Amino acid sequence: MLDACLHSSSASRKKRIAKHLYLEGVTSACAAGPGKNLSVDKGASLLKKYTRKATISSPTEIHCAILAKNWNIILGGSVMSKEFTIENEYLKVTVTTWGAQVKSVVRKCDNVEHMWQADKSVWGYHAPILFPHAGKVVDGKIEAKGGVYESGQHGFARGMEHEFVDQTEDTIVLELLADEETRKKFPYEFRLVSTFILENDTLHHTLTVENLDDEKMPFGIGYHPGFAVPFDDQHVATDYELRFSEMESPICLNCLPTGLVQKDHYYLGSNITTIPVDEKLFANDSHCMANLKSATLGLYEKGTGRGVVCNIEEFPYTLIWSKPGMPRFVCIEPWHSLPSCEGSSTKWEEKPAAAVLKPGEAWSATLSTSFVR
**197-225: average pLDDT:** 98
pLDDT for res 255: 87
Res 34 pLDDT > 80: no
Q: How far is it, in rounded angstroms, from Cα 295 to Cα 108? A: 26
H helices within the chain, ranges in order?
2-8, 11-24, 26-32, 40-51, 59-74, 180-183
pLDDT for res 257: 80
Res 196 pLDDT > 70: yes
Query: Thinking of the domain 105-372, which architecture would CATH place it in?
Result: Distorted Sandwich (2.70)
pLDDT for res 63: 54
Q: Structural domain boundaries of the chain?
A: 2-74, 105-372
Q: How far is it, in rounded angstroms, from Cα 194 to Cα 305? A: 30
Residue 87, helix vs strand vs coil? strand
Higher-pLDDT residue of 365, 257: 365
CB contact at 8 A, 260 and 297: no
**15-39: average pLDDT:** 41
pLDDT tens for residues 138-183? 999 999 999 999 999 999 999 999 999 999 999 999 999 999 999 9
Query: What is the overall mean pLDDT for the chain?
Result: 85
pLDDT tens for residues 66-111? 555 544 544 555 557 899 999 999 999 999 999 999 999 999 999 9
pLDDT for res 4: 44
**196-212: average pLDDT:** 98
**298-307: average pLDDT:** 96
**6-30: average pLDDT:** 43
Res 61 pLDDT > 70: no
pLDDT for res 337: 96
pLDDT tens for residues 303-339? 999 999 999 999 999 999 999 999 999 999 999 999 9
pLDDT for res 210: 98
Predicted confidence band at 28 (pLDDT cuts at 50, 70, 90)? very low
Res 54 pLDDT > 80: no
CB contact at 8 A, 220 and 130: yes
CA-based Rg of the chain, rounded to a whole angstrom? Answer: 22
Q: Which of 168, 131, 198, 94 is nearest to 365 (CA)?
A: 131
